[in-house]
Amino acid sequence: MTTALIYSEKYLEHKPSEWHPERPERLRAIVDALRRANLWSLPSVQVIEPTPASRADIELVHDREYIALIERLSGLCKPLDSDTPVDANTFELALLAAGGAIKAGEVVAARDATNAFALVRPPGHHASRGHGGGFCYFNNLAIMIEHLRRRHGVKRVFVLDFDAHHGNGTQEIFYEDPSVLFMSIHQDGRTLYPGTGFVHEIGSGEGEGHTVNVPLRPGSADAEYASVMQELFLPLSEAFKPELIAVSAGMDAHADDPLTQLGLSTSAYGWLTRYVVKQAGKLCGGRVVLVLEGGYAVDAVAGAAVNIVRVLTGWSPPLPTEQKRPEVVDDIRRALADCWRL
Ligand SMILES: [Zn+2]
């Protein structure tokens, strides 16, 4: 089993502003922690410098007018919205973040690595075809998936988004698409940005049943996540039979996160990843690509990333013994009853 870590020092040059939670220290702490844990230099790990995504790749997902808008705002240093500032280098760095996700997907599709983690900034899962926001400009993970489908013949991708915020951009991009199953576990949209991601949002047209939202009450923690992985992630991924599992890996569901009210432990990131890696081993030759999203408690994010990479490189932490089924699991089963036998 080999692992690719995709990283560029340039990702630290994205500096939204002094007060902004999506700050370079997040990623610097991850890389420092991986180095201290000797994961950066493991023989089974290759660290790869990404190249920027091409305009053609970005256009696989985003409208031309929207791409032009980001480029223009970058020239003017004018924000996209009050949460999402734009500097002179934002356009260029957003291309490099998408390029990092593409590189992670490519090495796994080409079997140069079993799995990969794109350690990128700015994040992407709130960016839809024609809108950005929530610290996101281009949807790195969606661009990676479209690139793999068009250029590497990957047909079916299961997306697990465990960032605490609903991955509304990714959901919208693939809402009518039956070749991507999007499953998001997040804090209930009535209590957190972006206010979407409810059980009844299950996809439409041919994509019906291929969007699965698991909104959790504030305070939900390891036992609830363990139940969701066991009772929804395992049977859904088995039924869908992906060729690749892609993960929107945000670490802001951690108990220490200043922006959210969920309660995951640092060790949870290890066993969450183990569920994914194990299932990928069973279903798709171990092929897993993680793309970094949010996570704002710097020390927690670093510890979570170490546990994730430990599992990618072969560590099998124990699965949690305690499970607590959130009520929403039954609602989801009912909402999907016509589509999947769960
Ligand atoms: Zn988030």
* Owning domain of residue 328: 3-335
Tokens 């479209």 correspond to: 146
What average pLDDT is seen over the chain? Answer: 97
Give 215-270 pLDDT, tens digit per residue. Answer: 999 999 999 999 999 999 999 999 999 999 999 999 999 999 999 999 999 999 99
Q: What is the largest CA-CA distance in the chain?
A: 53
Closest CA to 275 of 334, 227, 209: 227
CATH number of the domain at 7, please: 3.40.800.20
Does 37 map to a domain?
yes
Does 342 map to a domain?
no
Q: Which amino acid would we find at residue 63?
A: D
For residue 102, report the distance from its CA to the centre of ligand 1, in Å. 21
Does 134 map to a domain?
yes
Does 209 map to a domain?
yes
Give 67-98 pLDDT, tens digit per residue. Answer: 999 999 999 999 999 899 999 999 999 999 99
Number of domains in the chain: 1
Does 340 map to a domain?
no
267's enclosing H/E stretch is none
For residue 163, report the distance from its CA to the centre of ligand 1, in Å. 5
CB 188 within 8 A of CB 215: yes
Cis upstream peptide for 194 (omega within 30°):
yes
For residue 64, report the distance from its CA to the centre of ligand 1, in Å. 26
For residue 290, report the distance from its CA to the centre of ligand 1, in Å. 15
Phi, psi of 34 (to 5 degrees): -65, -35
Give 272-281 pLDDT, tens digit per residue. Answer: 999 999 999 9
Both tokens of 61, joined, read 């997902």
Give 214-227 pLDDT, tens digit per residue. Answer: 999 999 999 999 99
Does 341 map to a domain?
no
Residue 126 is among the residues annotated as catalytic for this protein: yes
Catalytic, out of 62, 126, 131, 166: 126
Closest CA to 221 of 301, 320, 316: 320
pTM higher than 0.85 for the full model? yes
What pLDDT score was predicted for residue 16?
Answer: 83
